[in-house]
Structures are given as structure tokens and as C-alpha cells.
Amino acid sequence: MRIAVDIADFVDIERYPLLRERTAAWVRCIERVRHDLAAADCSVLSGFITARRLADLGAEGRAIAPLAWSHIETVNAYNVVLDQDLPEWHPGWIPLERGNAFVARDQIPPRFLISQLFHSRPFQRFVAACFGMKRVFALADPLSGLCLNVLKTGREHPWHFDTNEFTVSLLTQKSKGGGVFEYCPNIRSPESENFSAVRDVLEGRGGQAVRRIVLEVGDLVLFRGRYSLHRVTAVEGETERHSAILAYTRVPGVVGSPERTRQLFGRTLSVHLAAAERIRADGLLD
């Protein structure tokens, strides 16, 4: 059953006129985001959630955070099982420690603000327009389509690429220290993996390519995460960092690989095991 969604109850629709499509204000907002994405592959919409609902946003995240699958694991930037046929120089051989945890989509109540936003049609149309598309589709994955990223003290989300072409995220709780979003805009493309540049970053030689963004609670981030290597640095202090990931894609039917899903949620479903039938928008390594 589809729930009634009134984003005017929690989105700053004066600053971000999602409900006034095609108006001059809507067009200006879209153009600003597109400019940011063209320049740096990332656009931050500060104060997207109204101040009066920030406490609710944080409380909802804290209510489900204990459900997060937490497992420290050694992975690589592509989140795939290492293939012995890879050449020695391949950046996929560089080990990274994954210390973040995720609350899966099927554990997030429909009434929660992040769920309402994820399913909102005006919001989906806004996201599509921002990325220059006629339409976007909610990620078909029943676990990772919508999730809450939980980072505890000392934990980080290491360098990686996203499965979907672009990502929309919302900070719901800020850590006292650390927890900084870092990324390398457009380091690869559908035509080129650019392995040498990726390896430089992973080995600490690509500092000039790395950008840093400090976010506040209620900030919305539109990001091309499939083509930009990115991470969240280790959290400092006792307060966890919580971020909702609202995943959309250009084509319908996209789901995560079994290995990627197991890493993130500690479980897989039948849809993930049908690896041969996975839909991708390109031929890049996951």
C-alpha cells in the first residue's frame, strides 16, 4: 500500500520549490544543482530539511540504528571478490577495511521521513531534473534501495564506487569529529576505469584529486557516485554518524551483486543470487 506523502511537512519548499515544478524558482534551483554537478560531480542542498523537523529526523535514525548489520571486513574499492586473473598492478588488490554498518530498506518504517522522501513523486522528478533525465527509478534492490549508513567511533566507510549511477544522501546525525565526506570527481567514466588514477588515490598519492565536504544535519547531497571514488573518514567522539542513502537509477531493475549485498547487509535474497540477470547501465567493474 502506498503511503500518503506530504513533503511540505518536512522539506524547506520555499528554498527548494519541489512542489512548484516548471516555475522560475524551480528552474533556478535545478540550474544551480546542474552547475554544481557539471563542475564537481556533487551538489549540496544545505538545510533541505526544515529546522523544526531535524530533531525528528535524528530520532528516527537513532531508533533503527541498532538494527544495522555491523561487520568489520577487508574489501576493495570495487567491492568484488578478487579474481586471480587480475594483473598485480590492479587497484582491486589494495585492501581496505570496511567499518560502517547499514540498516536495510526492509527495516525502515514507511512513516519515517527518509522513507516518505524516497517515495515522493515530486522529489523523484526533482532528482531526475537535477541529473538531466526525464525520469529516475528507485533502485529495485529490496535491501539497498533505501538504507541508513551508521558509522560508530573509529569506523569509516572506505574508498569505493557506487553500484547505481548516482546517489542521493541525507545526513540525519553528525558525529562530533571526523566523518568527513571525501571524493574524487569523475575519476572514471563509462568508457574508462582509469585504474592508474584510482590506484594513486588508494595509495595516498592522489591528494590533488580529493575534495572534502563537511555536512550538517538536514543537508541533502546529490552525487555521481558510480564514477567518483569516495569515502567517509573515521568518526571521532561518541556520537555516531548517520546518513540516509536514497538510491535511484536511470534504468529500472537494478540490484546489487551477491558479494556487495552480503558485505553491506550480512544477507542476500533470491534477487541478488540471479547474478547473470543483473542489470547495469555500463560495463564497469561493480
Count of residues for the chain? 286
What is the pLDDT at residue 280? 59
- For residue 105, CA distances in Å to 39, 154, 245 come to 32, 25, 10
- Give 195-249 pLDDT, tens digit per residue: 999 999 999 998 888 999 999 999 999 998 889 999 999 999 999 999 999 988 8
Does 2 fall in a domain?
no
Does 172 fall in a domain?
yes
Residue 213 burial by CB count (10 A; 0-12/13-18/19+): exposed, middle or buried?
A: middle
Look at residues 198, 149, 157 and name the one whose alpha carbon lies nearest to residue 180: 157
- Is residue 276's pLDDT more than 60? no
DSSP output for 179-209: --EEEETT-SBTTB--HHHHHHHHTT--GGG
Does 128 fall in a domain?
yes
- Is residue 272's pLDDT more than 90? no
What confidence tier does 1 reach under pLDDT thresholds 50, 70, 90? Answer: very low
Its pTM stands at 0.89
Residue 225 three-state SS: coil
- For residue 91, CA distances in Å to 25, 74, 183, 189, 197 come to 44, 14, 17, 16, 9
CATH number of the domain to which 172 belongs? 2.60.120.620
- Is residue 123's pLDDT more than 60? yes
- Is residue 73's pLDDT more than 90? no
Does 18 fall in a domain?
yes
What confidence tier does 270 reach under pLDDT thresholds 50, 70, 90? Answer: confident
Q: How far is CA 92 from the centre of its chain?
A: 21
Provide the domain limits for residue 52.
7-277
Share of the chain above pLDDT 70, in %: 94
* Count of structural domains within the chain: 1
Higher per-residue confidence, 98 vs 276: 98
What confidence tier does 282 reach under pLDDT thresholds 50, 70, 90? Answer: confident
**Alpha-carbon gap, residue 16 to 123, rounded angstroms:** 10
* Mean model confidence pLDDT for the chain: 91
Does 36 fall in a domain?
yes
Compute the average pLDDT of residues 254-270.
84
